[in-house]
Amino acid sequence: MSENTENTENIEKVARSVHELLNEEKWTRATLNSYTIHNFQELDKTLEEIIRDSAQDAVKEICVEHLHHMKNSIIALYLSGIISLSQQLVDDSHLVTLISIFTDNHKWGIVEFLCQRILEFGENKFALRTLADTYNNENENGKMYEIWERLIRVDYEEAEIVKNLAERKDQQGHREEAVDYYKKALHRFIGKKLFTNIRDIWHKLIDYCPYETEFFYHAEKKIAKIISEDRAVQLLEDLFPCYKKGKQWDTAIAILKRILEYDAKSPWGRKEITECYRQKYAAHSQLEEYIRISNLTQSWRNIHEAIADFEKHIAFDAGNFVFHREWGVGQIKNIKDDIIEIDFVKKRHHKMSLKMAVSALQILGKQHIWVLKSGMSKEKLHHRIKNDIPWALKTVIRSLGNAADMKKIKTELVPAILSAGEWMAWSTNARRVLKEDNNFGNLSDKADYFEVRSQPVSLEEKTLNRFKAEKNFFNRVEIIEDYAFNMKNIEENAESFGEMLEYFTGFIRSFTTVNEQVLSSFLLVAKIIAKYPYLNPGIAINFKTILDQVENIEEIFQKVENANLKKELLLQIRKNSPQWQKLFITLFPHILSRQVLDELISASGEEALRDFFLHIINGYRENRVTFIWLVKNFFSSHWYELLNVKYEKILISSIHLLDISFREIENRKDVSENRKLNKQIHSYLFEDEKRVEKFIATEDEEPVSRVYTLIWDIQSVDDAIKLELRARIHERFPSFKFIGQAEIEVVASRGFYVSASSYEQKQKTLQQIIEVDIPANSKEIGAAIELGDLRENAEYKAAKERQELLNTQVGKLTEELEKAQIIYAKDVDISKICFGTSVTLFNKDNSAEERYTILGPWESDPANLIISYLSPLGNELLNHAKDEELSFEINEHSYNYRVGNISVAEYQ
């Protein structure tokens, strides 16, 4: 009996058993009062059999059909409902109906059991709410409150229960927890536009946490947007007396400014802000004069202009700092009548009128970065900026009006304080601080701009602000992915998450045609719901429906800029499309994944890919990226044999693409893509895999000749590589004809350091060539000449080519020996890293120690940690002393070191 036949029989057996249960229920007409928890536990045993025999779909179909005739069938409702939950389907209507039946009949024990069964599959708003009501009816208040706490984590529209929990915590004396609940309740009541409840909680929070201004401001803005600006003003007016009474004039003034933004003609607001200014600047010699000049108390003057005018004037006081575009930073020495005396760095004791000063000067705070640059020693400021990144960021961002991106921050620090090399490591750490430190936030309208918060901001609020400020769709995808799949307490911050999720569900609800945003939104929301089922927005669309409406899957796939979503799309295509193999082949050039090919081979065998691979190989120019990927990562001799393709063709195509990509780089065409491709091909042919060298070592002379001729004609291939290949060919084919090749001079372009032993070895090599190899070669040429007819004389041509190579080596060695400067160990200076030193480096990225010996190009042996001072790494290390820190980048890899001990290397 086949496995499929056995499975079918098991399903039919289970189906018959369920039919019997349903018929028995119908015939006996069991009353609700006769049902107990035991009955459902017996049904659970039946469910175990159903799942074991993979009969869920068949049984659910039977139950649904039965419910058409007997809508309150307990067995059908229970079996179909639990099966739906086990299949992670959103539809829980059958269980809702079942629970409602027993709730109406006050069978609380069964109601509790059913709710708990639903909750075994994940948090569920209906089940939690019903369970809480059950415990309330049973007077089990402790359990009810526990369920309430779970409910509000998944139902972020529930407000009244949150308020009840806050009041309970308040009564128990848990003030901090009560405040958290009150805040949550306030935001939820704002969403419901219940102002009476909002104001009650607002007053409670003023009593409990009056100085959390960022929270109040955030709520106020939300109220102004959702309810009305008048209501926002009411609440700010309620908040203001707390700060006035506490003589916190800066915050009191800030609140009044917010009120006046909503109601610029408020007489109360004008009067109060004038009084606050009088209190704040009571010691200022020109206070009343500046109030008069700005017309701050005059109702005819625009209040915002009056405030700006007053604040600009009041800043001019002895001891304050100013900036002039020509004279730089200065400090006000004194003010007498209408004349201000200022000491600029470039212009001492300069006097100007107040009117001129107001228009020509910019007021600076004492901690402004420009003031620090002019007044603090460069060494001290450099040390503080480099080692105290949070302080540095706060200083610069506040100096720039409390809004700056990394580009503006760099402008202030480089090169005035930090070098370009220091900036690389510093900026990496700074970005981490800006992301993780709760004293920094993102501007609501500019995702890449940062601000310093007057009060710490939670990671959740920071993430939401960053999401709102970000305009790019796929950048928003990354933000919510990071939040959804890396946050541990998402239930506690469901409001923030729900707001982000709604952005994507909006695309699904309103689409008319499927584009990359609609498709990506569906994939993203589906992934999130799979992890958090209670967040399901009630969208009854499946992937197949979406896929059927896609006009050009290849075009959309290319536009999906998120790698995780691309993988998810392939997974859903595999599960839902009968044409998945055809789609995989179509999409492969845009994903280049071995897993895709392995799945295709597993499903249909290697022959299924034959035509596709031949299409790529024959059209290598048009499919260059896919071709090189396959050659480097997938093809083997087995595949070339299966495709009936000679490897020579693959190699020649690769060499041709090397030339094409180089020429396109020279012509400034798709430079970035061509550089990447060129580098991959070069590595494949000559460096890591050395495919050309292996080809020369294994193939016959004729194909080797064709490949070598192609390489020789490519300008971008280094002459040293060509000579090396030529030598390899000559070793294997001594009579090989090298036709039409000019002499190549490979000489050192400048002087360099060497050890005495290396110098001596090179001298011996040169002597060997001059005294042994060249004379021997001359004899070979003479002997070849004696054979006659030099045009067809292979021995002669081979000897002449050998002569060219030897002469090139002599020229190169002679020039290098002339430029070489011997450094003896006794002359090495260990005060800094230089030729002849061994240095211990502390790797700041992985806390490991690394030790290198620094010598020259002749002694270089990277495998044994001996590096040339002329190499990229050696060049970066040169001239650094012990305890210095250095950061640099080589081939797109960042290095961060602290220099340890420096000693004389062991060399001769």
In order, the DSSP letters of 827-884 are G--TTS--TTEEEEEEETTTTEEEEEEEE-TTT-BGGGTEEETTSHHHHHHTTPPTT-
Residues 181 and 175: their CA atoms lie apart, in Å, by 10
- 146 vs 444 pLDDT, higher one: 146
Max mean pLDDT among 87-91, 337-341, 590-594 falls in 590-594
- Using DSSP bridges, classify how beta strands 752-754 and 820-822 pair: parallel, antiparallel or unpaired: parallel
**Contact call for residues 743 and 809 (beta carbons, < 8 A):** no
**Maximum alpha-carbon separation in the chain:** 120
pLDDT tens digits for 820-874?
888 888 888 888 999 999 999 999 988 889 999 999 888 877 767 888 887 768 8
Q: Above 60 in pLDDT, residue 660?
A: yes
**Number of residues assigned to the chain:** 908
Q: Above 60 in pLDDT, residue 14?
A: yes
460: CB partners within 8 A, 6+ apart: 487, 493, 496
- What's the pLDDT score for residue 30? 60
pTM tops 0.75, yes or no: no
Quote the DSSP letter at residue 300. T
Which range has the worst mean pLDDT, 371-385, 406-420, 638-652, 663-677? Answer: 663-677
- What's the pLDDT score for residue 746? 28
User: What percentage of the chain has pLDDT greater than the value 70?
Assistant: 92
- 797 vs 840 pLDDT, higher one: 840
SS3 450: strand
- 10 vs 392 pLDDT, higher one: 392
pLDDT band per the 50, 70, 90 thresholds, residue 624: very high
Q: Above 70 in pLDDT, residue 788?
A: no
Ramachandran region, residue 447 (left: φ > 0; alpha: ψ -120 to 50; beta: rest):
alpha
Residues 721 and 64: their CA atoms lie apart, in Å, by 75
pLDDT tens digits for 431-468?
999 988 888 888 877 778 899 987 777 777 778 888 88
**Contact call for residues 446 and 397 (beta carbons, < 8 A):** no
Residues 665 and 678: their CA atoms lie apart, in Å, by 9
- What's the pLDDT score for residue 494? 61
- Using DSSP bridges, classify how beta strands 848-855 and 321-324 pair: parallel, antiparallel or unpaired: unpaired
Residues 239 and 1: their CA atoms lie apart, in Å, by 80
Mean pLDDT of 239-260: 94
- What's the pLDDT score for residue 148? 94
pLDDT band per the 50, 70, 90 thresholds, residue 785: low
Distances (CA, A) of 147 to 118, 133, 158, 313, 323: 14, 10, 13, 59, 61
Mean pLDDT of 101-123: 90
Q: Above 70 in pLDDT, residue 490?
A: no
- 638 vs 663 pLDDT, higher one: 638
Interior CA angle at 462 toward 458 and 465, to 5°?
Answer: 140
Pull the structure tokens for residue 440: 């920094």
Q: Above 90 in pLDDT, residue 536?
A: no
**DSSP 3-state helix, strand, coil percentages of the chain (rounded to 5)?**
65, 10, 25
Cα 632–chain centre separation: 28
Which range has the worst mean pLDDT, 2-6, 243-247, 868-872? Answer: 2-6
Beta bridge partners of 304: none
- 313 vs 860 pLDDT, higher one: 313
pLDDT band per the 50, 70, 90 thresholds, residue 791: very low
Closest CA to 102 of 35, 29, 21: 35
Max mean pLDDT among 26-35, 41-50, 668-677, 731-740 falls in 41-50
Which contiguous run of DSSP H or E holds residue 600? Answer: helix 594-604
pLDDT tens digits for 693-725?
999 999 998 888 888 878 876 767 776 787 788
- What's the pLDDT score for residue 476? 93
Peptide bond into 872 cis (omega under 30): no
Q: Above 50 in pLDDT, residue 236?
A: yes
Max mean pLDDT among 389-398, 418-427, 534-543 falls in 389-398
Which contiguous run of DSSP H or E holds residue 568? Answer: helix 563-576
Which range has the worst mean pLDDT, 136-150, 281-295, 886-900? Answer: 886-900
Residues 841 and 871: their CA atoms lie apart, in Å, by 17
Q: Above 50 in pLDDT, residue 749?
A: no
- What's the pLDDT score for residue 29? 64
- What's the pLDDT score for residue 424? 85
- What's the pLDDT score for residue 24? 84
**Contact call for residues 252 and 284 (beta carbons, < 8 A):** no
- What's the pLDDT score for residue 471? 87
Q: Above 90 in pLDDT, residue 307?
A: yes
Mean pLDDT of 488-515: 77
Closest CA to 556 of 541, 545, 566, 544: 566
380: CB partners within 8 A, 6+ apart: none
Residues 754 and 858: their CA atoms lie apart, in Å, by 7
**Contact call for residues 748 and 819 (beta carbons, < 8 A):** yes
pLDDT band per the 50, 70, 90 thresholds, residue 40: very high
Closest CA to 202 of 238, 152, 243: 238
Q: Above 90 in pLDDT, residue 544?
A: no
100: CB partners within 8 A, 6+ apart: none
**Contact call for residues 276 and 291 (beta carbons, < 8 A):** no
- What's the pLDDT score for residue 28? 67
Q: For 747-841, where are the alpha helices, taking DSSP H only? A: 756-768, 774-786, 794-819
Instruction: Tell me the CB-side half-sphere exposure of residue 601, using CA atoms within 13 A.
Output: 10
